[in-house]
Homo-oligomer: A and B are copies of this chain.
Amino acid sequence: MDNHSDIVIIGGGPAAMITALTARRYYPEKSITMIKNKAADIIPCGIPYMFHSLEHPAQNAMSSDGLSKNNIAVVIDEAKKIDRETHQVTTAQDEVYPYEKLVLAIGSVPIIPPIGGIDLEGIYPIEKDLEYIQDMVKNVKEAENVLIVGGGFIGVELADEITSLADVRVHLVEMLPHLLAHSFDTEYAQMVEEKLESRGVQIYTNTGVQEFSSDGNGKTAHLADGTDIPIDYAILGIGARPNTDLAEQAGLSLFDGSGIWVDEYMRTTDPDIFAVGDCAVKRDFFTREKAPVMLASTATAEARIAGANLYKLKVVRENKGTIAIYSTYVDGLVLGSAGLTEHTATAKGFEVKVGTAHCVDKHPGVLPDTHQCQVKMIFSRNSEIIMGGQVAGGSSACEMINTIGGAIQQRTSRSEFETMQMATHPFITAAPTQYPLVIAAQNANS
């Protein structure tokens, strides 16, 4: 069997898929093979919604129609070894795949804390695998008490979804003083906390699980603050680490001990091997430090850069780094964050000026389905460029954070926001007199 392919991509998630599709667009004459270790991949950010909002968990399966349409070969197998000398990948099934260019899109591995009882039946990390999550959903739906460990995005979204299930009581534990603390300042995190609490979620902050135990009456989670929580099922959402095993075996460099080192064009220390998505190191837009960002949206941006630049540097990327841009949805409340929070910016030594604005997302605010909306913008005190923003509101808040995100990437100044031209409409935005990005920018100047 001739396994030769010009471009070999290891992985099956959004990063792998977009690398393949982008490579096809820029290098139509090249053959492309994806080696992925499971047949059914799922949309990573849709995982929480497999528990309630989607009628069937399988609706969150990732379509691979685009691959066959674009003449991209798919092999279900597990890559085991890279031989850089001979330019070959060997798989679990002992097949050998030669390559000209290799892309690692091998994702991340859930972090399992080394605590007592972590191996008990019914305590599981999140794996991006359809059957695995389908089993989880089934078990959670039969549970009375579900514990979620970790109050980041996945923990918050799971709590919101699972509390919608009848007869399931949700407990959410977070080590930091607030939920979503890496992405939002306290006043925004509190909105999420109030929302979840009003929905019946029991939140424990400033503490963590010290041990799980089990006896004839069932399982218990023992928290560091002395609280005991009876649980039927626990989901670990405390994060993941870059999957770097294959890269390390091949002698590729990591960055600062974790994450495959890549340059601006997603090239590893081997010019014929690229890495994209969760397995590749992310560096912050402002500090250039390692940034703990693992998002499909970041991964797809990287995949587009890699796919276009495999053979020639076709799409020039400015030296930018990740801006850590997120949005989330909690029972109708939309929150977005981009760039640095006020807390993080200050902790990193930046001198900032901050402005906020409150408005309604229609005008006049008596129109049906009007939501409160609030915006916070963080600027460099001296150089006055935008460094971060947070938004809370109705459904339009999601694209508003993208306006801020675009502005961060373009290094937009505060006075440009003050004089910005924007579209407004009674049914769908704040009034032009109240447009929150303008008002917050003005208010920052005090």
Contact = CB atoms under 8 A, between A and B. Distances in A.
Interface of A: 14, 17-18, 22, 25, 43, 45-46, 49, 53-55, 59-60, 295-301, 304-305, 308, 315-318, 322-323, 325-329, 334, 336-338, 363-364, 366-368, 394-403, 405-407, 409-410, 412, 415-416, 418-429, 431-433, 435, 438, 442
A296 B424 contact: yes
Nearest to A424: B297
29 contacts: A14-B433, A45-B432, A46-B363, A53-B427, A54-B364, A54-B366, A59-B364, A60-B364, A295-B432, A296-B433, A297-B422, A301-B420, A301-B422, A304-B418, A304-B442, A316-B415, A317-B415, A322-B421, A327-B423, A328-B425, A337-B423, A395-B396, A397-B399, A397-B428, A403-B403, A405-B422, A406-B407, A406-B410, A409-B421
Given A45-B426, A317-B419, A54 B18 contact: no
A399 B409 contact: no
A353 to B, nearest CB: 15
* Interface core residue of A300, A327, A423, A435 (most chain B CB under 10 Å): A423
A420 B406 contact: yes
B367 A421 contact: no
A394 B398 CA distance: 12
B398 A429 contact: yes
Contacts of A406: 403, 406-407, 410, 412, 420, 422
A399 B327 CA distance: 14
A287 to B, nearest CB: 16
Q: Which 4 A-B pairs have the closest CB atoms?
A: A399-B399, A398-B428, A297-B432, A327-B423
Contacts of A338: 423
Contact of A363 (B43, B327, B363, B423): B43
Nearest to A324: B421
Nearest to A21: B433
Given A364-B59, A399-B396, A296 B432 contact: yes
